[in-house]
Every structure is written in structure tokens, then in C-alpha cells.
Structure 1
Amino acid sequence: MWRLFALLLPVIRLYLAGLKVLLYQLLHSAFTLPVLPSKSGRVAIVTGGARGMGYETSRHLASLGMHVVIAGNEEDEGLVAVKKIQEQTGQRKVEFMYLDLASLKSVRQFVLRFKARGLPLHVLVNNAGVMLVPERKTEDGFELHFGLNYLGHFLLTNLLLDTLRSSGRSGQCSRIVTISSATHYGGRLNLDDLQGRSCYSSHGAYAQSKLALVLFTYHLQDRLCAQGDPVTANAVDPGMVDTDLYENLCSPAQLAKRPVAKLLFRTPAEGASTAIYAAAASELEGVGGLYLYNGRKTESSVTSYDEQLQGRLWKQSCALVGLQKA
């Protein structure tokens, strides 16, 4: 009985969070991007930038004149995305670089390859993710949601921090934009069982990974401020967006989703708009530590503001990815 309750509770929390988002999207129009300034000469990395919201983010940043690096684990898909963006925007400085966030070795290799280019880095968009996948492990033995959605981005961000610092300056900070989700409101973080070994739930694992990203963003911003670094970190909630992320829903949920998605879900371009805004808007210059939803500052979950939990997660994450000195 306890095990059944433990499995059902994360499902209930996730779908309640989803219903609240759908109600909001029924009553409110999607955020419309303002005219953004040219970003010629600036460099951005977008993880998962070859499809869905990542593609739209990459395309829009390229249209502003940015040199965009699409980081992903499917080369053919990435190269097709690069060609499409070049044709649509007329910008040639769009490229693909291989990155598997489910492999800490791949993350380190990606950073080494990027740094060897001698490029600056002004925007890092932590966008890639998986949702509701059956229980699986990463190359390093971590639960897949926690390992890919959170730990891969945690390591990537930390390894790129020195480049972000050196590329930013007062009045023109570098920016870290991390994509979370409304599911984080129902997320629970058990530091003694981050891998969900006691009772695995794909719903709970996904919500936990999105909560971890918000906790990470806030703690990172505090560290950046304390050191006076010209870098900001913000979390973004894209809302419910009609992308391939929902392919792992159970069959009844898939059937229910199709008509609802046509009516209430955001398009990938609409879903990406707040991330693009966080990456490029002048009014967010020097502003960090925000949770942005539909283009506005929003309160995230009570748990996400727990500074002690933020610090403990950071310390434990450093140990898990081999950044004990970070």
C-alpha cells in the first residue's frame, strides 16, 4: 500500500501542476517578444538546440547576429538544423558541436573542444532535457532525468564559468539561462536518494530534476554576486509546449493530450520566447536570480528558496561530477 501511494503521489502532483498551467494558458495569451537589440559579435551555446524550443531559441539568437553553437547528441539532426537556420536567417555563424549530457566524459570533451576554439561565450542556454522516460541510467550510473537534465548541465555550466566570466563586463554581462518547468512546484528533493532507488517514479524523477535546476540557478547567482562576476543566471519556465517531450506519456494520456495540445499548448516558438528574452533583453542586463514565466518574474516553489538546501545540493553535485574544489 505504501509503495502504491509513493508511486501515485508524484503523478498526482505533476498532473495538478499541468492543469494549473493549462488554466493559465487558457486565460492568458502567450508572451510576445519585444524588439531585441542586435547581438552581433556575441556567442551563444544552446543545448538541445536542434529541435523544439531549442531550435527556436537558436534560430532567434542567430537572427540577432549571434554566433550560435547548437550542442546536441544527434549529429545528423544538428547539421540539418544548422542549414535551416542559416537559410532562414541569412546568418552563417551557426554550427553544431557534439554533446551528450548523459555522459560526464562527453561534457568535459565538449568544453575542451569549445575552449580550444578561443571563442568568447556570452550566453549559455541550458535547454536540453528528457521527460517521463522509463527507469534508465546515464553512462555514469545516474538516474537519467537527474543525470541528463540536471547534473550534465551543472557540470557544463561550471566548466564554462571561466569563459563566461572573461567574456562579460560591467554593463554587458554574460548570461546563463536554464530551462525548468512548472513541474518543479511538485518536485521533492531527497538528498539521501537522488537516484530514486527506494521507489522509482518517472514523474517524480522529472519533477525533481526541474526543481534541482531552480535550486542550482539561485545558488549559482548568489555565488556570482558574491564574487562580483559579470555573469547572471536565471531560470525559465516555458509553460506547456507542444514538443516531442510528451512522447513518453502513457497511452490514455497521449489520447487526451492531442486535442488539448491543439487548443491550449504553446507552440515551440511561443515556448522559447521567454528564454530568448532572458538571453537578449536589454532590461534584464545585470539582473539574475529570477524565475521567469511568460515573460515575467514569477515566484517559484517555496522549496526552491531554501538556501540551506541549495548549498547542500551544490556541494553534493560537485562531489558527484568530480568538482570537489568548485
Structure 2
Amino acid sequence: MGYETARHLTSLGMYVVIAGNSKEEGVGAVKKIQEENYEGKAEFQYVDLASLKSIRQFVQKFKDRGLPLHVLVNNAGVMLVPERKTEDGFELHFGLNYLGHFLLTNLLLDTLKKSGTADSCARIVTVSSATHYGGVITMDDLQGRLCYCSHGAYSQSKLALVLFTYCLQQRLTSGGFHVTANAVDPGMVNTDLYQNLCSPAQLAKRPVAWLLFRTPAEGASTSIYAAASSEMEGVGGCYLYNGQRTQSSDTSYNEDLQVKLWKQSCALVGLKDEGLRVD
């Protein structure tokens, strides 16, 4: 889906930075996009969202170039992996899917704020999932240390992304910034995310996926809509599915939980929670 999103945004004339942890795949994606001779351009830059150090290094290199940033698409993720830790000691789903994007977004906020205008807001698009409806956030056990379950960990990370999106939009609105934040649900998409299913489930999935699952291009369509549609100009704090505003889980609208998660996340990644001040 990341490739399809990058390809489409490049076709619209954007300069796209594909950020990922596989140089071979990233460079290959750029080459394929360039062969299409789109109006826009694409490049690859390395970042490992499972490493807070790598995220900080990526952001510093990006800022050193003095480039504007009009669209940030938080798309990376893992699903149903066996219990593993990031290099910083976080449970992998929570650390990569959520905390990595939380830190990346916060470190790029000042650039996004400077890039957005009253007529053309900068946009933050974060890919969540319908599994967030079954997610549970327990503040004293955010990383599932008491009882690890891969599905529960994945669902929790996707719920955290929705809570983060809503809290971020509230802060952006309060500060009067020309930046919007939305969460999107791509639906069930036939990608490598399902590679960690058990063997029987893999066999059962194959014939069903071709019939019922979306292609990566179809899955990317809602992210593209949120990132580039004129209908989403100035619109934030939404959960989008099939290009439509949809109700997310009841838990995701819990403002007290949103704030608690934000503050705890700041502590975990080493950010000062100073709010979003007007420069």
C-alpha cells in the first residue's frame, strides 16, 4: 500500500520521499515510479520505525535539507508477529506501529506547521485498521507484559493510532495551525502483512484473498483520498473508510484516555509534552 500511495501522489505532481527500512525495496520502488515518467518525483530515504535513534536521524537529515512538508502518510506496520522487542525495549507492534509514528509525527510537526497555509493545510494521514474496534488500552500495561497475544497487541497499536490522531487534531485546532490529522482504514488488503498467520490459516486465506480482499491499490485509495482530495481540505479529526467519514470505536473518543496516552507516549519516547505553541 505504501508503494501504491507513493506512486499515486507522484502522479499528481508531488515530490515524494519514500521512507522505509529496506533500501533494496525502496530504491526498487523509486525506479518503478520514475519509469512511469510522472510529473512528480520520488526518492528513497532510510528509516527504521522500530528505532527511536533511526527516526531522530531521519528527521534531522530531512530538516537539514530545508524542504517543506505538505503531506505525511504514516503507513508502516507489522501484524501478528511473535512476541519481540524493538531495540528500545518496546513490544514490537506497540513500538513500531504506534510509538514510531508518534515520534516521527511530533518531530516533523514544526515543518508541517510552517508548510501549511490557510488555503492549503498540511495533512497528516495515519493508517489504522478495523481491528482497532477490538483494541484495549491499559495504561499500566501498554506493552502486554502480563499476557502477550499477537492479535491483541496489533489491535491495541491500531487503537492507539486513532486515539493519537484525535488528540493531535484537538491540539492543532487549539493552536490555530493549518495542519489536519486523520486516520484511515484501508479494509482487508492482500499484502504481506498476513505472512505471520499460522500455516492452516495461510492455506485458507489464499483462495479467499483473491476473491474478497482488496488489492494494494484499492487499499491505498483512502489514504490517497485523505492526502490529496479537495474534499478533505481543512478537514481533520476523522476516521475514514471507503472514502467516507465513519464512526471509530467508542473507546477512541475517550478524551481522557487520549490525553493519558499522549502524555505516556511522550515519556516513553523522550519528548517534552509542551503542547503545540504558536510560533
Alignment TM-score, normalising by the size of structure 2: 0.97
Tell me the secondary structure at the aligned position of residue 88 of structure 1. Answer: coil
Distance in 2 (CA, whole Å) between partners of 1:82 and 1:126 is 18
Structure 2 letter corresponding to 1:189: I
Tell me if the contact between 1:59 and 1:89 (Cα under 8 Å) persists in the aligned partners: no
Residue 92 of structure 1: how far off its partner (Å): 6.0
Match of 2:128 among 180, 183, 192: 180
Residue 324 of structure 1: how far off its partner (Å): 2.3
CA separation of 1:118/1:125 partners in 2, compared to 1, >3 Å: closer, same or farther?
same
Tell me if the contact between 2:186 and 2:222 (Cα under 8 Å) persists in the aligned partners: yes
Structure 1 letter corresponding to 2:145: R
Residue 154 of structure 1: how far off its partner (Å): 0.1
1:211 matches 2:159:
yes
1:66 matches 2:9:
no
Distance in 2 (CA, whole Å) between partners of 1:95 and 1:102 is 21
Distance in 1 (CA, whole Å) between partners of 2:65 and 2:210 is 43
Residue 91 of structure 1: how far off its partner (Å): 4.3
Tell me if the contact between 1:62 and 1:89 (Cα under 8 Å) persists in the aligned partners: no
Match of 2:221 among 259, 273, 284: 273
Which digits, 9 at most, give the CA deviation of each residue in 1:280-320, with x for residues without a partner?
00011000000000110000000000000000000000000
1:252 matches 2:162:
no
Say what the alpha-carbon RMSD is for the aligned residues.
0.8
1:109 matches 2:57:
yes
Unaligned ranges ≥5, structure 2: 275-279
Number of residue-to-residue matches in the alignment: 274
Match of 2:77 among 121, 129, 136: 129
Percent identity between matched residues is 78
Tell me if the contact between 2:166 and 2:237 (Cα under 8 Å) persists in the aligned partners: yes
Unaligned ranges ≥5, structure 1: 1-52
Which digits, 9 at most, give the CA deviation of each residue in 1:243-265, with x for residues without a partner?
00000001111111111101100
Tell me if the contact between 1:101 and 1:153 (Cα under 8 Å) persists in the aligned partners: yes
Distance in 1 (CA, whole Å) between partners of 2:254 and 2:201 is 33
Match of 1:87 among 7, 31, 35: 35
Alignment TM-score, normalising by the size of structure 1: 0.83
Tell me the secondary structure at the aligned position of residue 249 of structure 2. Answer: coil
Distance in 2 (CA, whole Å) between partners of 1:282 and 1:134 is 41
Tell me if the contact between 1:178 and 1:236 (Cα under 8 Å) persists in the aligned partners: yes
